[in-house]
A = this chain, B = another copy of it.
Amino acid sequence: MKRKGILFVMTGASGVGKDTIMQAALSNIDNLYFSISATTREQRKGEVHGKKYYFYSRDDFDKIIEEDGFLEHADYVGDYYGTPLKPIEDALKRGEDVLLELELVGARKVKERLPDAIMIFIAPPTLVELERRLRGRATDSEAKIQKRLARARKEIEAVREFDYVIVNDMLGKAVKEFTSIITAERCSSKYLLDSQIKRFLKEL
């Protein structure tokens, strides 16, 4: 018998470097399934439907909500984001670990429904630095930047709800910490099956 998969939930403000950390981590770690989110937000240049996001119209998104097809869904700065439930359940049953990227409200909903989820918070070195990064990215309007900063402040105030905190002051360090958390959790004794211990002892 195989152990069930571990669900990792990653939260952090826009501009904090989540995508970069995640991509580096995914290329270093085996058997980690990245859950693709659904969203109604505008497709940015270079983004592919079905790679990081499924881009849906508001109508299609509402239809999936009605069918209870999301593990969680939430409104974030005027756009809708949702986590399709079925592929996650399937991966966990197969014994694969799953990585979710969610904002705070969604992360809380997942933790409520699946309390074994491991919660990872990615923090910017300071809020000042986060603001600088958001302006450097130049994808958002001033109003959206202000909303994102206010949201970031709220998230940081909730940091103790998370199991792990990574401060992304140096990318290499942050990537190493992220992959270490996943590697270490896989060694946690709470996932040991009695059958594994028994099999081991019988081999004397």
Copies of this chain, complex-wide, total 2
Is the Cβ of B200 less than 8 Å from the Cβ of A123? Answer: yes
Given A128-B203, A200-B126, CB of A189 within 8 Å of CB of B156: no
Complex partner residue of A184 from B127, B131, B156, B164, CB under 8 angstroms: B164
CA distance A121 to B200 in the complex (A): 14
Given A128-B203, A183-B184, A204-B149, CB of A197 within 8 Å of CB of B156: yes
- Stretch of A61-69, A77-85, A86-94, A173-181 that contacts chain B: A173-181
Interface size on A, residues (CB 8 A): 35
Given A127-B201, A197-B159, A200-B126, CB of A180 within 8 Å of CB of B184: yes
Interface SS of chain A: helix
Is residue A76 contacting chain B, with contact meaning CB distance below 8 A? no
Across the interface, which residues of B come within 8 angstroms of A149, CB to CB? 204
Complex partner residue of A188 from B127, B164, B189, B192, CB under 8 angstroms: B164
